[in-house]
Amino acid sequence: MTELRLIACDICVIGAGSAGLSAASGAAQLGARVVLIERGSMGGDCLNTGCVPSKSLIAAAHAAHAFTSAMAMGVGEGLAAKIDFQAVHEHVHAVIAAIAPNDSVARFEGMGITVLRETARFVSRTELVAGDYRIKARRFVVATGSRPSLPPIPGLDNCQPLTNEGIFELTSLPEHLLILGGGPIGLELAQAFRRLGSAVSVVDAGVILSKDEPEAAPLIRQAFADAGIALFENASISQLQAFEGGVGATIKCRSGDKIITASHLLVAAGRAPNIEDMGLDIAGVKTNAKGIVVDARLRSSNHAIYALGDIAGGPQFTHVAGYHAGIFVRNGVFGLPARVDYAALPWVTFLDPEVAHVGLTEAAARQSHRQVTTIIEHFADNDRAQTGRRTEGFIKLVLGRRGKVLGATIVGPQAGDLISLWGLVIAGKVELSTVASMIMPYPTLAEISKRAASAYYKPKLFGALPKAWVGLVQKYLP
């Protein structure tokens, strides 16, 4: 039996996804000795089967949809988009290939990091084995992410269901895509494939956008209805049957059972943490159904082992994974007691219109604050939105005492970019009056934020007392 080679280091990172790569590079650039272990593809889910390919596909779908929307402005009358789905596939993978060098073995080895393409397993509280190596580290980072989970539906196993790990490998356009799950992944891909020419049906056990403000969902339902997407909410698939060239599904709805025949089935109904066969019990690490149990500093029950990203059981976003990496570097490298704080956590569902949120929803704010005020302004009152014929949507501010910003939602064009201002306001404890007094370029979509902030002060500014004061000034001012 070959004797294992010992590697002693300061930090050992398991998983080369967003969290692991950021933690490894941050620690290495600060002078720590780092070992990075990855058994799969560098870049993890985000690069290979998540954010990058999905947003690339959405970009292609947006380009196709532009033909239709341009006609409303007198451009391209009679023209129709010609979809070459093989070329769309090549576009998606070309984007992945363009970004991949940022996450490559060569780049991280260039930082002085030892990269092992192996499976890691703890053998004690302070050591793990990866291939022919035994790694002893002062601190470990587990950032192994999550994977799609498949619900226990009769007949599912025989239907060759697609998940986000396989949908981007398709080289021919699905004739009819049946999507199980109306979360962000399911909704985004539903709209994208419909715009590329597929018939699309979506089944969700609850209601869509349940974590967002209730004003958002009706706009998306209408957009789906206008596009011809069949949306079944508060519904379930009770039976699936595979046949040559597709699947048959029995959908249980409140209005009765419906039978749908589709060419492809995509399951986007939740994710499971990658925690199996890692020896976490040997290392003294407690786990649950969501992943590794961590404290506010992202430490596991073994304080030498941290968990970052999806595996930490919290919000599953790439930007959260990067945020976690920063928390680890402050804790595990600098020795500072940094803690996670999601008060200014943003999320975006990349639909058209986009749905973006940061901070507390109105419902959450009313549970934790005695005084809550809301402001809603519509893109129909924004001149730039009018020029582009994109007037659907709104901004909603959730405010506490004295106008303190607790949360914000924007539904509309470029909402994902516009929401960042409100993340800064919440994180930096910026006064609402600062936004109201900003000079913003005209005409821009961003003016909707200034308009919403200003609306809070209108009752005070144009009330009886200011009017009385103005009357005195105009009467006596020389």
Q: Which domains does the chain have, with CATH numbers?
A: 5-42+104-148+272-333 (3.50.50.60), 156-269 (3.50.50.60), 346-461 (3.30.390.30)
- pLDDT band for 48, please (50, 70, 90 cuts): very high
How far is residue 478's CA from residue 473's CA, in Å, rounded to a whole number?
A: 9
Average pLDDT over residues 305-310: 98
- pLDDT band for 477, please (50, 70, 90 cuts): confident
HSE of 346, CA atoms in CB hemisphere, 13 A? 22
- pLDDT band for 69, please (50, 70, 90 cuts): confident
Q: For residues 233 and 81, which has the higher predicted lDDT (pLDDT)?
A: 233
HSE of 17, CA atoms in CB hemisphere, 13 A? 32
Of the listed ranges 66-80, 176-190, 201-215, 326-340, the one predicted with least confidence: 66-80
**355 dihedral zone (left: phi>0; alpha: psi -120 to 50; beta):** beta
Backbone torsions φ then ψ of 42, nearest 5 degrees: -65, 140
Question: Is the confidence at residue 1, as pLDDT, over 70?
Answer: no
How far is residue 457's CA from residue 446's CA, in Å, rounded to a whole number?
A: 19
Q: Which residue has the tokens 């790694």?
A: 135
Per the structure block, which two tokens stand in for 226?
A: 């206008």
Radius of gyration of the chain (CA): 26
pLDDT of 337 reads: 92
Average pLDDT, the chain: 95
Backbone torsions φ then ψ of 466, nearest 5 degrees: -60, -40
Beta strand pairing call for 199-203 and 230-232: parallel
Backbone torsions φ then ψ of 384, nearest 5 degrees: -65, -40
Of the listed ranges 41-45, 80-84, 414-418, the one predicted with least confidence: 80-84
Strand arrangement of the beta sheet that strand 346-349 belongs to: 346-349, 354-359, 405-412, 394-399, 373-378
What would the pLDDT profile of 445-463 be if each residue is shown by its tens digit? 999 999 999 999 988 777 7
What would the pLDDT profile of 269-288 be if each residue is shown by its tens digit? 999 999 999 999 999 999 99
Q: Which residue has the tokens 């009330």?
A: 463
Residues 308, 141 contacting (CB under 8 angstroms)? yes
Angle between helices 18-29 and 318-328 (to 10 degrees): 30
Question: Is the confidence at residue 476, as pLDDT, over 90?
Answer: no
Closest by alpha carbon to 174, among 260, 265, 45? 265
Average pLDDT over residues 365-371: 94
How far is residue 464's CA from residue 478's CA, in Å, rounded to a whole number?
A: 23
Q: For residues 476 and 57, which has the higher predicted lDDT (pLDDT)?
A: 57
Average pLDDT over residues 416-426: 98
Question: Is the confidence at residue 478, as pLDDT, over 90?
Answer: no
Burial class (CB in 10 A: 0-12, 13-18, 19+), 254: exposed
Per the structure block, which two tokens stand in for 452?
A: 């919403």
Amino acid at 174: P
Closest by alpha carbon to 349, among 54, 145, 89, 19? 54
Q: Which residues pair with 397 in a beta bridge?
A: 375, 408
- Note the helical H segments in 240-358: 318-328
- pLDDT band for 78, please (50, 70, 90 cuts): low
Backbone torsions φ then ψ of 30, nearest 5 degrees: -95, 5
Amino acid at 172: S
Report the SS3 class of residue 278. coil
pLDDT of 472 reads: 81
Per DSSP, the chain holds a count of helices (H) and strands (E) of 15, 23
Average pLDDT over residues 126-141: 97
